[in-house]
Structure 1
Amino acid sequence: MPLRICHLGKFYPPARGGIESHTQTLARAQVALGADVRVVCVNHDMGGIDATWRVIASTPTVEEVDQGVRVTRVGRHASFSRFDVCPSLFSALWRVRREGVDILHLHAPNPTMFSALSLLGSLRPFGTLVVTHHADVVKQRVLLKAYRPVESFFYGRAALVLSTSEDYIGGSEALLRVGAKAKALPLGIDRTPFVEPTPKARAFAEKLRSEHGAPLWLSVGRVIYYKGLNVAVDALSDAPGKLLIVGSGPMENELRQRAERRGVADRIVWAGRLDDEELVGAYLAATALWFPSNGRGEGFGLTQVEAMASGLPVINTHVPHSGVAYVSRDGVSGITIPMNDPAALAAASRRLAGDADLRRQLGERARERAAAEFDERVMASRSLAYYREALGRPVEPSTKTTPRGRSSDTREEALGSPKLSA
C-alpha cells in the first residue's frame, strides 16, 4: 500500500514564499515516487487579490488537484499576528482524520495549524506526526510567548522534527529540546524550468538585459526585515549597475525612502511579482543573486537554490546557526560575506562584475551543487526514508521515474541517496 501523507502548510502556490514552494515541490515529488499525498492549507486568494498580508480579508474554501496532489485551501476571514481565522479548517481536518493518513507532516512555524490541532484533541487518530521546523520565531515576541508552549507540546509528540540544514539545529532552542529526533532534510526544487528555460523566459531575460544593462544584481523574496535589503540599498552606493528586486512586502515603502536618501533610487527596479517564467528570465539576466539576509528568520533561502540551478553565482551572508551559507558555499557557488556589511557586499559585487572567469566558474559549480544536493527527487527520497523510519517500516528499492520521465536511479546511486517506493 502507498504511504498516505497529509501536509499541513501555511499557504500553497501560487502563493509566494519558501515554505509554500517547498510544500508543493515535496508533495509533487512524493506523488511521483508513488505516495498518496494531500495538502491542507489556508487560501490566500481573494478573487485574484493576494490576501496574505491583509488583516481583514475573506477567501473561499477551494478543493483542487495539483499534479496528483489533493489540495484543500480553507477559507479565512482575518489574520492577526500570523494567526489566520479559518472556521472551515476544522471540518477539513476532521475529514483527514476520518479518511486516515500514515504521516501528518506539519510545516512550522504555523500558529494556525497548531491551534486547530490543539482544539481537535489527540493526534493519534491522524497518524504519525512529522514536523519540518523551517525557522524559529524570532521577532514576534508577543506571538512567541503564546506560541512556544504549543510548539513544545507538538514537537514533544512528533516522531521526527526536521530542519532544513544541520547548521540550523545547533542554534535553535526548539530543535535542541527534541534531541535525537531532530534530523536534517535540505530543501529541493524541480530544476527543469531553470536548466531548460522556455522561450518566454529567454525573451524576458533579453528584455531585462536590454533595458537595464550589466551588471544587474537580483533580489528575490518577500520584502521583510530579515532579508537585509537595507544592506542591499546601502551597498548599491559603492557597487556598479542596477538592483532588480522581485517581490513585495511590508518594508517596501521604507526601503524606497532609504534609496532616495542614499541617492540610488534611480538604480533600483521594483519588479513586484513576476510569473514563474519571468522569474527564470530574471535569474538568466542577472550577474549575481544578492542574498544579504541578517537574521535566523532566514533559515535556508530557497531562492539561492533557484539561482544556482540557473547557473547564477550567489552573494550571501554568514548567518550564525542558519543554513544560508550552507546552501551556497563560499568559493564554490558564490561569495559569503559578513552580515550587515554594505561595504563587503559592494566589494564582492565589484569583484564579480570585473571577473568573467570567476562568474563562469562559480556558475558552473552552482549548477552542480544544485543537482547533487537540492534536486526534488533527492529531497523526496530522503523524506520517505524518514517516514519509514518513523513508522518502523523497512526501506525498499524503487525504479520509479519523475513525471517528466527522467530516471533518478543513476543520480541517486552516485549520491548514495536512498531510493524508496512509497
Structure 2
Amino acid sequence: MTLRICHLGKFYPPARGGIESHVQSLARAQVALGAEVQVVCVNHDMGGIDATWRIVGSTPSVEENDEGVRVVRVGRHASVSRFDVCPSIFSALWRVRREGVDILHLHAPNPTMFTALSLLPSFGTLVVTHHADVVKQRVLRHAYQPVERFVHARAALVLSDSDSYIGGSEPLLRLGSKVKTLPLGIDLAPFLRPSARALAIADELRAKHGAPLWLSVGRVVYYKGLLTAVDALAHVPGKLVIVGRGPMEAEVRAHAARRGVEDRVIWAGNLEDEELVGAYRAARALWFPSNARAEGFGLAQVEAMASGCPVLNTRVPHSGVAWVSLDDVSGITVPIGDPGALAQAARRLLDDEALHQRLARGARARAEGEFDQRIMGERSLSLYREAMGSAEHAHGPRHPGVGVPHSGSGDKSHPLTIEGLSGN
C-alpha cells in the first residue's frame, strides 16, 4: 500500500515564508517518490488580502490540489500573539484520523497545530520538524512550552533543519537521541536553468537601477537584520533591493531616510517566481545579515546559491545560517550586527572579480549537492522508516502494507511497501 503522509503547517504557498516553501517542496518531492500526501494548514487568504499579519480577519476553509498534494486550508477568525483562532481545525484533523494516515508530520513553531494535537487522541506516527525556537514572543513562549513538551513526548522523531541548531535549542537538547537532522531542500531547476522571461527581468533590473545591485529576500522582521543592511549600504555603492513585506517595513524605511540612503533602497514587495529568479540573477550578492536564532536556516540563501549569487551572511550562534552558505565557499560570513564588516565583504566582491566568480561557482555546487528537494524527499522517507520502526517497537505492529522505500531509491513507479520497513 501507498504511504499516507499528512503535513501540518502554519500556512502554505502562495503564503510567503521559508517554512511555507519548505512544506510545499517536501510534499511535492514525496508525491514524486510515490507517496499520498496532504497538507492541513491555516488559510492566509482573506479575499485576495494576505491575512498573515492581521490580528482580526476571517478566512474561509478551502481545499485544493497542488501538483498531486491535497491542500486543506482551514479558515481562521483572528490571530492573537501569532496564535490563529481556527475552530474548524478539529474537524479537519478528525477527518485525517478517520481516513487514516501513516505519518503525521508537524512543522513548528506552530502554536495552533500544537494546541489542536494536544487536545486530540494520538493517531499515525508523529514526526515533528522543529524549525526554530520561539525566541522573542515571551508570553507566547511560556504558554507554548507545556504544550510543546506534551506533543514532543508523543512524537516518534523530532527533526532539526541543521546539526548546528540543535546545540543551542533547549527543546531539542531535552529530547536527546529522539532528534535527527533533515536539511531543507527546494526545486533548484528554476534557479539553475532560468526561463527566458527571468533572464529578461534580470536585464531590466540592471538597466533600471544600474550596478551593483544588492538583494535582500524574506519577511521584513527583526531577525532579518535589515537595519544593519541599511547601515552597510551607506558605505558601499549601488542599490539594495528588498523583496518581501512585514511588520518592520516602516521602521526600516525611516532608518534609511535617517542614513540618507532612502533613494538607494528599492522596495520590491512580494515577487512572482520568475521575477524573484530574475532578481537573484541581477544581484551581485544576497545580503543575509540575520541577527537571531529565529532565523534557523534561511532558504533564500539556497535560492541565491542555485542562481550563482554569492551570499553575505552572519554567524548566528547555534543557527544553521552560516552552515547553509559556507564562508569562502559560497559566500562570506561576517559578525552579527556589524555593518562595517558587511560593507567590507560587499566591497571585496566588487573589487575582486575572481573571488566573485569562485564563490558563484561554489554556491551552485553546494546547492546542487546538498539542497535539492529530491535529496530531501529521499532523506525524509528514510527518517519516516526509522520513526515507524520506533513506533512499532514502542506500541506494537501497525496495520500491514505500510512502509517506505530505502533512501535513494529514486524509482517513481516503485510502490511503498512493508519490505522497505523490514529492510528485506
Give the TM-score normalised by the residue count of structure 1.
Answer: 0.93
Measure how far apart 1:394 and its partner are. 7.4
1:168-317 equivalences in 2 (<5 Å):
168-317=165-314
Distance across 1 between alignment mates of 2:67 and 2:147: 33
Distance across 2 between alignment mates of 1:237 and 1:389: 51
Residue identity opposite 2:316 in structure 1: V
Give the SS at the match of 1:321.
coil
Distance across 1 between alignment mates of 2:255 and 2:410: 54
Measure how far apart 1:356 and its partner are. 1.4
Give the SS at the match of 1:381.
helix
Measure how far apart 1:118 and its partner are. 1.9
Give the SS at the match of 2:119.
helix
Distance across 2 between alignment mates of 1:150 and 1:394: 30
Measure how far apart 1:399 and its partner are. 3.8
Distance across 2 between alignment mates of 1:364 and 1:394: 35
The aligned counterpart of 2:355 is: 358
Give the SS at the match of 1:73.
strand
Measure how far apart 1:200 and its partner are. 1.7
Match of 1:324 among 310, 321, 326: 321
Give the SS at the match of 2:71.
strand
Distance across 1 between alignment mates of 2:46 and 2:404: 44
Residue identity opposite 1:20 in structure 2: E
Give the SS at the match of 1:335.
strand
Q: Is the CA contact 2:185–2:372 (under 8 Å) kept in the aligned structure 1?
A: yes
Distance across 2 between alignment mates of 1:265 and 1:169: 39
Q: Is the CA contact 2:166–2:318 (under 8 Å) kept in the aligned structure 1?
A: yes
Q: Is the CA contact 1:220–1:245 (under 8 Å) kept in the aligned structure 2?
A: yes
Distance across 2 between alignment mates of 1:316 and 1:166: 18
Distance across 2 between alignment mates of 1:69 and 1:329: 33
Measure how far apart 1:39 and its partner are. 0.3
Whether 2:125 is the aligned partner of 1:117: answer: no
The aligned counterpart of 1:152 is: 149
Whether 2:49 is the aligned partner of 1:49: answer: yes
Measure how far apart 1:214 and its partner are. 1.1
Q: Percent identity?
A: 72
Residue identity opposite 1:400 in structure 2: D
Give the TM-score normalised by the residue count of structure 2.
Answer: 0.93
Residue identity opposite 1:391 in structure 2: M
Residue identity opposite 2:238 in structure 1: G
Measure how far apart 1:376 and its partner are. 0.3
Give the SS at the match of 1:304.
helix
Q: Is the CA contact 1:32–1:400 (under 8 Å) kept in the aligned structure 2?
A: no
Q: Which runs of 4+ in 1 moved over 6 A?
A: none
Q: Is the CA contact 2:42–2:74 (under 8 Å) kept in the aligned structure 1?
A: yes
Q: Deviations along 1:130-182, whole A, 9 cap, x unmatched?
A: 00000000000000010011111111221110000000000000000000011
Distance across 2 between alignment mates of 1:200 and 1:185: 33
The aligned counterpart of 1:408 is: none
Whether 2:61 is the aligned partner of 1:61: answer: yes
The aligned counterpart of 2:399 is: none
Q: Is the CA contact 1:79–1:85 (under 8 Å) kept in the aligned structure 2?
A: yes
Q: Is the CA contact 2:384–2:404 (under 8 Å) kept in the aligned structure 1?
A: no
Measure how far apart 1:395 and its partner are. 5.1
The aligned counterpart of 1:10 is: 10
The aligned counterpart of 1:93 is: 93
Whether 2:331 is the aligned partner of 1:334: answer: yes
Give the SS at the match of 2:333.
strand
Distance across 1 between alignment mates of 2:15 and 2:40: 14
Structure 1 residues without counterparts, runs of 5 or longer: 403-417
Give the SS at the match of 2:286.
strand
The aligned counterpart of 1:381 is: 378
Q: Is the CA contact 2:34–2:412 (under 8 Å) kept in the aligned structure 1?
A: no
User: Is 84-93 or 343-352 further displaced after alignment?
Assistant: 84-93
Measure how far apart 1:203 and its partner are. 1.4
The aligned counterpart of 1:345 is: 342
Match of 2:411 among 400, 404, 419: 400
Q: Is the CA contact 1:284–1:310 (under 8 Å) kept in the aligned structure 2?
A: yes
Distance across 2 between alignment mates of 1:225 and 1:7: 28
Distance across 1 between alignment mates of 2:118 and 2:316: 33
Measure how far apart 1:401 and its partner are. 5.2
Distance across 2 between alignment mates of 1:74 and 1:199: 37
Give the SS at the match of 2:252.
helix
Distance across 2 between alignment mates of 1:359 and 1:282: 17
Question: How big is the alpha-carbon RMSD for the aligned residues of Structure 1 and Structure 2?
Answer: 1.5
Residue identity opposite 1:132 in structure 2: T
Q: Deviations along 1:283-302, whole A, 9 cap, x unmatched?
A: 00000000000000000000
Distance across 2 between alignment mates of 1:202 and 1:42: 34
Q: Is the CA contact 2:117–2:151 (under 8 Å) kept in the aligned structure 1?
A: no
Distance across 2 between alignment mates of 1:398 and 1:294: 39
Residue identity opposite 2:79 in structure 1: S
Q: How many residues in Structure 1 have an aligned counterpart in Structure 2?
A: 402
Distance across 1 between alignment mates of 2:200 and 2:62: 34
Distance across 2 between alignment mates of 1:27 and 1:314: 27
Q: Is the CA contact 2:118–2:150 (under 8 Å) kept in the aligned structure 1?
A: no
